[in-house]
Structure 1
Amino acid sequence: MDEDYKLAKWLDNSMNEAELSQFKASDHYVVFEKIKKYSSQLETNSFDQDKMLAEVLVAPKEKTKIIPLYKTWVFRMAACIVLLLSLTFVLKTNVTATEIAQNGQKKSFELPDNSEVVLNSGSEIVYKKWNWDNNRKLNLNGEAYFKVTKGKTFEVATPLGKVTILGTQFNVKSRESRFDVTCYEGRVRVNYNNTEIIITKGMRVAFENNKKIIIPNTEFTQPKWINNEITFDKENLNTIIKEINRQYNIEIILKNTAENLLFTGTIPSNNLESALEIIDVTYHLQHKKVSDNKFILEPLNVKK
């Protein structure tokens, strides 16, 4: 603090002779002298206080922009409306419609273009209603019969293959490893793995486990299952049992049989006793009722 006081007096030229002699003898005097010398050579611009005040008084003032409260409310409302419309559009374009025929049931319905669909038991269809006329595509799991109105390409996708048509009547069945398509009118393009086949009225095509199955054409105008008759072409016993379970909404347990005979024929879907008797005769089995919706199939002459 004492050193600062001395420095201040020296800069102010208020030291007496004795103080000045003592200050010059200090170790820092040479440095202080250089600082004083060079700082005295610095010049600063003169400051005109009156001119500065005059410029401030005459300078144009910026107007404060005021947004009325009602305009802010309108902007917010418009933003909410735009957001709502955007959400509505996204939901509308992505929402899907689902049609299901439970086991023991059949279901008929129309698509947005008035195309008719009949779902067989244990089947499901999923599609988008939005922009349907320009994008007629649906997903099928199970079996369905279609009467398609003329228009743009109509596509049925299944886990096993795809069917594409322009306006026709056809049946598609996709069950586990079996894929069947029958055309009743018009032309149908069938895609299965890397195979593409075009079939016309009365023609049928079937695949199972990546192999094509030769089956006869049909003279009927619609599938027999619509009239309560299940048609099988070269199908094994396990497949037949599963189909009967779907049609009647029951459970059949198959016991002690290694029979692998392929069955071709028709079984009723509205008379369970007759259906079971056909299976009994064909495969040399006998059925036993366990409960109202449960049955056992076993070979004849099984010891009790």
Structure 2
Amino acid sequence: MKEVELINILEKISSDERYTLSFEEEMHLKEAFSHIPLLDEKPGENVLDEMEERLFSKSIIFEKSEKRIIHWRRYLSVAALIAVLFGCGLWIKSMDMKFVTGNNEQLAFVLPDKSEVKLNENSSVEYNKFLFYFNRNIEMKGEAYYVVTKGRKFTVETPTHLISVLGTRFMVSETDRFDVFCYEGKVLVESLDKREKKILTKGRSFGSDKVMQENQPNWVSHKYVFNSAPLVDVLEALEEEYKVSIENKNYYKEFVFTGTFPTNDISLALNIILAPYNMSWEQVQSNKYRIKNN
């Protein structure tokens, strides 16, 4: 169909709101706008009425030779609105944010509401920057520490659980096993299948009834804190932190340790742990150490 013919038809429609298309004009117009999917479908009348009321003050009715009524302008109204919504959807999707860490990497960043997030290694956090202003929802994998500003409900979703807070400090971990640690305020933890549900208060964790003494995760403060802990447990924590193995540690099950050790210097950590017991250590391989009695 020529553009001039299409313009003439549209001018007739705009100049006379009751103008009735001939069958030929109707077919030409339908062909010209055939790229709009809604022209071949008929939405519910309630939807059409609502769209028409919002976008147009009057409707134009076209009549086929078979006397069937087709509300062309309604279809165009709906198509135009859907095009706008589709464009908005693409724009909102472009606001997706994702933060990822690899081996031996940590990352700190601030959310739009000024809440703080610290990611441990091999972890990720995702959220939509635009939608976050309406619903403070994020998705995560791995291990992350949160300092949440007070406000609307703040929700963290993992592959297995949902964690909800209003304003608090907490850590979520899904490394070897799932756990949540509350350092301030209250945290609601529930599994996605609704079989588990627990409210945590300060010093409590989801996977244990033991009261924590730390004010934040060890990997955030870069040091471990122990109070009368079995020496074997302390050495196992050091093994896990530094990804090493320690020989002879099981010989000292009767000892207990109170103190701290750093997470960024294994030599200093071993000296701090073993010095009170008059013990030393030697490195036998790149990732293996042996405890010795002096």
**1:285 CA drift (Å):** 7.6
Distance apart, 1:205 and its partner CA: 1.4
Q: After TM superposition, give the deviation of residue 215 of structure 1 in Å.
A: 2.5
Query: Which amino acid is the alignment partner of residue 260 of structure 2?
Result: T
Q: Which residue of structure 1 aligns with residue 104 of structure 2?
A: 104
Residue among 241, 244, 248 paired with 1:243 = 241
The equivalent position to 2:262 in structure 1, one of 265, 268, 274, is 268
Change (3 A) 1:67 1:163: closer
Q: Is the 8 A contact 1:96 1:129 kept in 2?
A: yes
TM-score, reference length from structure 2: 0.55
In the alignment, the residues of structure 1 paired with residue 242 and residue 204 of structure 2 have an alpha-carbon distance, to the nearest angstrom, of 22
Shift of 1:98: 2.4
Q: 1:230 to 1:65 in 2, by over 3 A?
A: same
Q: Which has the larger radius of gyration?
A: 1
RMSD: 4.4
User: Per the alignment, do residues 169 and 204 of structure 1 end up closer, same or farther by CA in structure 2, a change over 3 Å counting?
Assistant: same
Distance 1:232 1:179 in 2: 19
Secondary structure of 2:98's aligned partner = strand
- Three-state SS of the structure 2 residue aligned to 1:65 is helix
Instruction: Find the residue that maps to 2:133 and give its secondary structure.
Output: helix
> Which residue of 2 is the match for residue 41 of structure 1?
none
Note if contact 1:172-1:180 (Cα within 8 Å) is conserved in structure 2.
Answer: yes
CA distance in 1, matches of 2:168, 2:234: 30
Matched residue pairs, number? 222
Bigger Cα displacement from structure 2, 153-162 vs 63-72: 63-72
Q: Displacement of 1:138 after TM fit?
A: 2.4
How far does residue 274 in structure 1 lie from its aligned partner after superposition? 1.0
In the alignment, what sits opposite 1:295? 287
- Partner amino acid for 2:287? F
Q: Which amino acid aligns with 2:24?
A: K
2:131 match:
131
Query: 1:65 matched to which residue of 2?
Result: 24
Partner deviation per Cα, 1:155-204 (whole Å, 9 max, x = no partner): 223467543211233334444136241323x33334476351241xxx21
2:211 is aligned, of 205, 208, 215, to: 215
Runs (5+) with no aligned partner, structure 2: 1-21, 37-75
| CA 1:82–1:160: 2 relative to 1, 3 Å | closer
The 2-side partners of 1:159 and 1:282 are apart by 43
Name the counterpart of 2:198. Answer: 196
Structure 2 residue aligned with 1:18 = none
Structure 1 residue 237 displacement after superposition: 4.6
Amino acid at match of 2:211: I
* Alignment correspondent of 1:230: 224
Separation in structure 2 between the aligned mates of residue 114 and residue 165 of structure 1, nearest angstrom: 15
Question: Given residue 215 of structure 1, which amino acid in structure 2 is its aligned partner?
Answer: V
Shifted more, 141-150 versus 76-85: the winner is: 76-85
State the distance in 1 between where 2:274 and 2:124 align.
31
Q: Deviation digits for residues 64-119 of structure 1, max 9, x if unmatched?
A: 51369798556637869956953762784598532223333321112232322122
Structure 1 residues 156 and 114 mapped into 2: Cα distance closer, same or farther (>3 Å)?
same
* Corresponding residue for residue 205 of structure 1: 204
